[in-house]
Structure 1
């Protein structure tokens, strides 16, 4: 391992609950800022843009994988967990990210991909040599059925069987994603310990926490039992595109196994001395909120998780918001959610939900008022729509596999636009790895900075409102109610109560506030005035009121 930086053995003197209610800004490093003209964003580029990130008022950044990788899945296929891929820079560059962020009051979370590695990882190269070496059981290997077919019916999220034949071992190995992403065998305690050492390595370098990719995929059923079919009426495409037969199974054996809880406790114990936090990605179309509740219960499991309810393709309605939050209360009474409307895996929500500017603003305000922590994805603060990437320019293997019914994830991964005066939007002086969408250039940061009416200003105001009121950060919520197009609820701490109502439609509506004396707040977000205990809501308008 490379020599540690001066952040080694650093224990942050900070609120151990800093993550609760935090606003986290996701950076997809390939597409954020290129510093050397090779067309690929890098860590030095993130350092350059850290003052902008801090200016948003966010509490932390989540940086998608930058580890050494063959890049078949753009860093989510790791070949060295404890080094930086040269295209992103060096460990010294990462140290500069940490130091710069901390100087500006921003915490750093990194994306750990623990469920699988690249097939180029030394662990897998050793494991596939034979059945007797010391890494032989580090991955999920299984004999074929007597007819030579795979050991069971499990499917890959990226299409086809989740099993790949290896002629050297004369066995199949499990891959829930690409063939080149073999799944680690978490039933092996040596594997668990090696991955806990990875977490320690980055905590010693000064990271403040982790985003845990596919957190419910760590363990597979030890007996490798077939998954049952999923009834047609229960199928949805929240975690895989509709054209993928992955949606036709109930994945009760290939993921979300009970043994995972023991490992998560071990990981949390490693994190606690550093006041570090983790947010887990729960990939499950049927039981996402229930798993979230299991994984965040108490103080010895994960700090927070997110499911896919608000990343789904259907626009949020008032009844849908209320239903999700009520289900969460039931499934996770002792847990904590982290909400996102966009990320690097889904169509940007301004396009996915065909949002007007007013609707985008209201959804932003709503997000900042919900109980839970928040992730915003680079460029959403600019209102970037999904980019239309031609087939010839596609990089994502997922899109290439299912084109044209599913165009993959490249449309949300195109480069960040910083200024509108050239075709690369200030992202690079070279040729960008994905083309910059022409429609993004007028929305560039330089175009919106200084404009009090820009969407960027709205994001800053919404984040500031959240931080100004403890009830919006860590408070309980109650009274979740959907009436027509209006969803309303209260957020409360021992010293503060805030009433929130949101008209999620193009039609005006009226809302009656609970009994008491209330004062309208958040006027910089175009919130409604109060009159005689009522608020008249214009289309896509909120009422936010503080109880006196």
Structure 2
């Protein structure tokens, strides 16, 4: 379709800055049809709905793939369990609330034919009950493919159900096997583990192999191989470069710092043309860019599209991948589509009014999250909106290595399922990271590869509150700990928000560590175990962070020593560590300029060691297991645990101390005396205890987990 002529100046994907066609890669969802995607797995009582007015809940719907806003779509029920009266709603993008457990068959009438979709509804369950997990595989035995699931659950032994993708021929026989010669086209099989609750589904794809005459088993939900052990570095794009000339070019000039650290992924906060560009005062959040005015144009104050692409090339030259912060839950209220929507005299008023959700249209009161002004929510119930935003994804997926989805919970799950299929089919190395607060395990398994670990983050904040020290912060500010003086900034950049903005965005959300006992540092281990109770997809990766652009600086809030300990937790626990710009150099303001020329050098040296040991020690990498160990310490601010990399026959013991000064810990296993982080002996020769300032990592002689 074509966009309105007087708006395409801003938001059309056909032309880049240089006037050349935008894409070489063809992005298509599924087989290119309007089929609505894989089978759906839901719970009675939750359903497939848009929870308007319930801001913390994930959105969902039934939607055609490869939508065309000019075409008509209709949903209807084909089959349902006995006793059900459930029907899909009468819209092209529909809602459906199963009222009886069982299997439903829905049909989508689309311009390219009729498509059927299976919806499996499970019984209502206690949301606090442990959720099972399933990992599906298959083995080839003679002339058959035998499904081989691994299903686990805390407490219960789950059963397993299998479903063949509705787009594929049903080759699964009653004994749970598949004849190899029946697979003449790719077939996707889904498995769900069922205990008191259902699992996030897993899937395998069976692909005919012409060279061998057999079948390959592929795992479509696995992240790219480069993802799990990459260290992520987030920059606040307009505050990171040289502040005399903050541009893409001066960001590129600063990449040597990231290369020295060993950063694998650079996450750039939004850099498109936005309402909150340069000059936005801290009372308005600073120049954050999260209210987009043009999805296809970079902020001209940062440079041109060619300058941005040169920055990406410079990152790639250093082995750093680039992640784009995708903001498609909402636009700025100065976006031309919204301006048309609220202007009765605009020739496209009627069209664009339907692109947004409204509390009360006549009052021009848009639906927003948490009453945040200026960012009206887009309406994903409009096929035209989805078509347009898929074009936004396509445009940027060709220019970057991954996407971090802002406010991912506000965009329906079906859209993210389509995005995952669309971009990973075109580029198997493409990376997807979601922001869902509170984190939702439904975002895994064919939607996103990695999720913000909000439970660990909130646990670290609680430990900072308990064990951190205001004196540490004061000492840092006066230079008593060899900290360089903070970079002076003018009124426009000073990180002192107005009263109505003083809480960071993350403070709007539930404390995800509230159910944990955070009276001791053992809480970090409880937070990791809480992941298993929530039942994420086995291939889901977790982003471990101390702070980000939506939180206050840990150093300012809890002091230097607590910050070092919290960072050590993110670099030594299972997951992918993230460093927010300036965290490693002593920046104290949430969105202050990077303190180039005034680094806290001792702090930086500490972080350099964390980066190095995380990159080089196999027992600290993502696939290494975590184990509790017996230990004794005089302080509750201490935690000790083990990490094991069985392939390398390598085990280490980690001890982290969140309190001021040093403390000792005794562990009940044989460990070396030399801290792998510093190369120094950390054992008290008299008592035999381990002396810990912030963290020590010791080689263990035991490889038993």
Q: TM-score interval w.r.t. the shorter chain?
A: 0.5 to 0.7
> What is the distance in 1 between the residues matched to 2:552 and 2:251?
23
Q: CA RMSD in A?
A: 3.2
Deviation of 1:539 after TM superposition, in Å, equals 4.0
- Aligned to 1:23, which of 216, 231, 235? 231
Q: Deviations over 1:237-265 (max 9, x none)?
A: xxxxxxxxxxxxxxxxxxxxxxx322221
> What is the distance in 2 between the residues matched to 1:331 and 1:530?
41
- Contact 1:529–1:543 (Cα < 8 Å) also in 2: no
- Contact 2:433–2:448 (Cα < 8 Å) also in 1: no
Q: Deviations over 1:463-518 (max 9, x none)?
A: 1111112332222433246863332333333313333222333462323244x776
Matches within 5 A, 1:313-324: 313-316=461-464, 317-324=520-527
- Aligned to 1:134, which of 338, 348, 351? 351
Distance 1:375 1:540, change over 3 A: closer
Q: Does 2:279 align with 1:101?
A: no
Q: Deviations over 1:501-547 (max 9, x none)?
A: 22333462323244x77685524276735999975233434243255
Residue 573 of structure 2 corresponds to which residue in structure 1?
370
> What is the distance in 2 between the residues matched to 1:375 and 1:497?
23
Matches within 5 A, 1:277-426: 277-283=431-437, 288-289=438-439, 291=440, 293-296=441-444, 298-307=445-454, 309-310=456-457, 313-316=461-464, 317-334=520-537, 335-356=540-561, 359-384=562-587, 386=588, 411-419=589-597
SS at match of 1:120: coil
> What is the distance in 2 between the residues matched to 1:509 and 1:4?
64
Q: Does 2:365 align with 1:172?
A: yes
SS at match of 1:380: coil
- Contact 1:339–1:374 (Cα < 8 Å) also in 2: yes
- Contact 2:624–2:646 (Cα < 8 Å) also in 1: no
Residue 239 of structure 1 corresponds to which residue in structure 2?
none
Question: Structure 1: any 5+ residue segments left out of the alignment?
Answer: 144-165, 219-259, 387-410, 420-440, 449-453
Distance 1:545 1:66, change over 3 A: same
> What is the distance in 2 between the residues matched to 1:10 and 1:134?
28
Aligned length: 412
Residue 197 of structure 1 corresponds to which residue in structure 2?
391
TM-score for both structures, normalised by structure 1: 0.68
- Contact 1:268–1:300 (Cα < 8 Å) also in 2: yes
Q: Does 2:652 align with 1:458?
A: no
Residue 42 of structure 1 corresponds to which residue in structure 2?
247
- Aligned to 1:500, which of 636, 644, 654? 654
- Contact 1:175–1:183 (Cα < 8 Å) also in 2: yes
- Contact 1:368–1:374 (Cα < 8 Å) also in 2: yes
Distance 1:546 1:184, change over 3 A: farther
Q: Which structure's residues are more often helix, by fraction?
A: 1
SS at match of 1:364: helix
SS at match of 1:490: strand
Residue 467 of structure 1 corresponds to which residue in structure 2?
615
Residue 327 of structure 2 corresponds to which residue in structure 1?
113
Matches within 5 A, 1:485-496: 485-495=637-647, 496=650
> What is the distance in 2 between the residues matched to 1:491 and 1:350?
27
SS at match of 2:579: strand
Deviation of 1:129 after TM superposition, in Å, equals 3.6
Largest Rg, 1 or 2: 2
Q: Which structure's residues are more often strand, by fraction?
A: 2
Deviation of 1:170 after TM superposition, in Å, equals 4.5
Structure with more relative contact order (C-alpha pairs < 8 Å, separation 6 or more): 1
Farther off after superposition, 456-465 or 528-537: 528-537
- Contact 1:5–1:95 (Cα < 8 Å) also in 2: no
SS at match of 1:33: coil
SS at match of 1:457: helix
Distance 1:509 1:295, change over 3 A: same
- Contact 2:568–2:695 (Cα < 8 Å) also in 1: no
> What is the distance in 2 between the residues matched to 1:503 and 1:468?
23
> What is the distance in 1 between the residues matched to 2:671 and 2:456?
35
Q: Deviations over 1:199-243 (max 9, x none)?
A: 2111212x111222122123xxxxxxxxxxxxxxxxxxxxxxxxx
SS at match of 1:134: helix
SS at match of 1:20: coil
Distance 1:510 1:34, change over 3 A: closer
Distance 1:54 1:175, change over 3 A: same
- Aligned to 1:62, which of 261, 267, 276? 267
SS at match of 2:263: coil
Distance 1:189 1:459, change over 3 A: same
> What is the distance in 1 between the residues matched to 2:541 and 2:687?
32
TM-score for both structures, normalised by structure 2: 0.53
Q: Does 2:702 align with 1:540?
A: no
- Contact 2:673–2:681 (Cα < 8 Å) also in 1: no
> What is the distance in 2 between the residues matched to 1:28 and 1:217?
22
Residue 664 of structure 2 corresponds to which residue in structure 1?
509
- Contact 1:5–1:92 (Cα < 8 Å) also in 2: no
